[in-house]
Structure 1
Amino acid sequence: MWASISEQLTQALGHAFPIKEKQAIDGGNISHVYRISNGLDSYVVKVNTRDFLPQYQAEEDSLTRLSHTHTIMVPKAIISGQTKSHAFIILEDLPSSPLQSESCSYQLGQQLAKLHQWGEQKQYGYDDDNFIGATPQPNVWTNKWHQFFAEQRIGWQLQLLKEKNMALVEIEAFVALIKERLSHHHPKPALLHGDLWRGNVGQTPSAPICYDPASYWGDRECDLAMTELFGEFPAAFYDGYHSIWPLDDGYWHRKAIYNLYHILNHCYLFGGDYLNHAIVLIDEITKSE
């Protein structure tokens, strides 16, 4: 495997890259992650089974798209590919630590707001379907936000759960409710990170950095809502964001709807307590005015 990875990286770089050092590093629970070096330069390699290539290609696309905005820092995707037995993606090595400092948190908030202001897309969706974690994420271009989110986010996840014999609610009726709740909200389509939780951000010595995006064009509030879902970001992050683009009051009513998508996905992937969390959010949304 490593000989093939070295050969493909050599072709991508345009110069020889013999792998002289290889070290396993922490990289979440989906892929095996390594830092490789030729003794001078280093890269990060994520490895999974051979059929995982579409996930890595989608990650490469999102990272490339985000880097072109020149707003938030993400690692450069060098190449994704396959060996005879594995799929892999090679990324720029940007050693980082958890996001903690006030200055980096504030800066990240400002950068995210600038990302959300970037571009002039008229529809919601993305050129290709991609993945949220290991789960397929449909992104068919849609003119109306309430239709896109109700059908391609909430309805999609509920159907996946139903196919695993986890029917939490009557799908058609609940999708109609989500459409009604969002029907008067017409946000500017923003390019989203798409999976913005504490584990996917950090700080380098010079700047904040984001990882593992699942990008699409949607409501900027989806990114902000997720920052509050699995451990809230530092307060300075929100100060930085609001200094560029304040949220309106309606966000607090929509936050539960947007976070339900991720809880349903975690319920689908992991079950356990996420099932109870999903039920609580569904009840909250159903009873809210």
Structure 2
Amino acid sequence: MSVAESLSAEISRALGRPFRAVAMREAGGGCIHRTLVLEGDGGRWFVKLNSGETLPMFEAERDGLAALAEARAFRVPQPLCCGLIGGQAYLVLEHLDLAPVAGRADAIACGRALAALHRTTGARYGWRRANFIGATPQANTEHDNWARFFAEARLRPQLARAAAHGPTLRKKGESLAEKLPAFFLDCRPPASLLHGDLWHGNAAMCGGLPTVFDPAVYHGDREADLAMTELFGGFPEAFYAAYREAWPLADGYESRKTLYNLYHVLNHLNLFGAGYLRQAERMIDRLLAELRG
């Protein structure tokens, strides 16, 4: 069978009624997976395809989207099914007609939605399963201590992967990881449900509703999501004002923002190469200098 025929069969089984693709086109825009749009008499579906060993990525994405949907703060594409066809992994999602976050009203709606998402909390930091940040495995072993979780499940795995970039980064990074409790002396952040990979490319509007996708969910400090929105820009000031109005930030956010974004910069270093090395080193140096006073 062709890819379209195989996917049609899987979609039919998931729907419990016949679906036959009459058109299939490349969607584009993905840097990890092949993306398709399938159209047929039973609707339109967004499909991700990759080699068979990437099925755990799709299963994690499916579960993350389900967790976000349950929080009822953002609209998310509903996952229909995932599995293997002809040795390829696939994930079928509801197709959404997306529009950019444009204008003050959209920004305010997104800021309020993010605050509402973060009001959904867990008992511990982490999540019930491991997942992925981009193509990188992301451990979510649960902890009662946020600083310990961030050191053990976030910084240290990325520092270990970055060993090929020389001993200096790892040595300084380990020094920082040992000192993480100093950033949280006056606060124990709630274990908020986080999107986990909230750059502007993973947020949009759909039918006037704030919408997110491609998550890397876990329970953690809500500031980690906000920090990433600032790392690559793209969110207007009205977004942040609306968030802070709904849920003000604690003192010390600027320092913690650098700490949380270090995780993503290290991940980019490991995924895309040495172009991110100096940025990571500067961030670690800045954080260590702050601790020295």
TM range (shorter): over 0.9
Residue 194 of structure 2 is aligned to residue 195 of structure 1: no
Correspondence 1:49-198 to 2 at 5 A: 49-119=51-121, 121-162=122-163, 164-167=164-167, 168-170=169-171, 171-198=173-200
What is the distance in 1 between the residues matched to 2:98 and 2:274? Answer: 31
The 3-state SS of whatever aligns with 2:269 is helix
Greater CA drift, 58-67 or 152-161: 152-161
| 8 Å contact kept, 2:74–2:209 | no
- Check whether the contact 1:105–1:234 (CA below 8 A) recurs between aligned residues: yes
Shift of 1:166: 4.2
Corresponding residue SS for 2:214 = coil
Could you tell me whether the CA contact under 8 Å between 2:162 and 2:170 is conserved in 1? no
Secondary structure at the aligned position of 2:140 is classed as coil
AA of the residue aligned to 1:174: L
CA-based RMSD: 1.4
Comparing 260-269 with 33-42, which one deviates more in the overlay? 33-42
Q: CA deviation at 1:187?
A: 0.3
How does the TM-score come out when normalised to structure 1?
0.95
Offset of residue 277 of structure 1: 1.1
The 5 A counterparts of 1:38-53 are 38-39=40-41, 41-53=43-55
Moved more, 242-251 or 133-142: 242-251
Task: Give the conservation status (yes or no) of the 8 Å contact 1:150–1:179.
Answer: no
Any conservation in 2 of the 1:139–1:152 contact (CA below 8 Å)? yes
State the alpha-carbon separation in 1 of the partners of residues 283 and 110 from structure 2: 28
**SS of structure 2 residue aligned to 1:228:** helix
Instruction: Provide, for residues 186-241 of structure 1, a one-character-per-residue CA deviation record: whole Å limited to 9, x for no partner.
Output: 10110000000011011123212111000000000000000000114111111221
Letter matched to residue 85 of structure 1:
G
1:241 pairs with 2:238: no
Q: Is the 8 A contact 1:132 1:214 kept in 2?
A: yes
Letter in 1 for 2:60: A
Q: Which amino acid aligns with 1:141?
A: E
Which secondary structure state, in structure 1, belongs to the residue aligned with residue 19 of structure 2? coil
Give the CA deviation at 1:40: 5.6
Does structure 1 conserve the Cα–Cα contact (< 8 Å) formed by 2:21 and 2:38? yes
Q: Distance in 2 between matches of 1:253 and 1:282?
A: 11
More displaced stretch, 81-90 vs 169-178: 169-178
Q: Which moved more, 1:97-106 or 1:110-119?
A: 97-106
TM-score (norm 2): 0.94
**Matched residue SS, 1:169:** helix
Q: Which amino acid aligns with 1:251?
A: Y
Kept in 1: contact 2:73–2:117 (CA 8 A): yes
Helix, strand or coil at the partner of 1:48: strand
Q: 2:279 maps to what in 1?
A: 277
The 5 A counterparts of 1:15-30 are: 15-30=17-32
Extract unaligned runs of 5+ from structure 1. Answer: none
197, 212, 230: which is aligned to 1:210?
212
Secondary structure of the 1:68 match is helix
Q: Aligned letter for 1:33?
A: T
CA contact (8 A) 1:146 1:185 kept: no
- Aligned-residue offset at 1:181: 2.7
Counting matched residue pairs gives: 287
Q: Is the 8 A contact 1:47 1:89 kept in 2?
A: yes
Counterpart CA distance in 2 for 1:45 and 1:266 is 25
SS class of match (2:196): coil
Matches of 2:182 and 2:4, distance apart in 1: 52
Partners of 2:124 and 2:219 within 8 A in 1: yes
- Whether the 8 Å CA contact 2:223–2:257 is kept in 1: the answer is yes
* C-alpha deviation, 1:280, in angstroms: 1.2
Q: Does the Cα contact within 8 Å between 1:21 and 1:39 map onto a contact in 2?
A: no
Equivalent residues of 1:190, 1:219 under 8 A apart:
yes
Say which is worse superposed, 60-69 or 98-107, in terms of deviation. 98-107
Q: Secondary structure at the match of 1:142?
A: coil
Q: Does 1:8 align with 2:14?
A: no
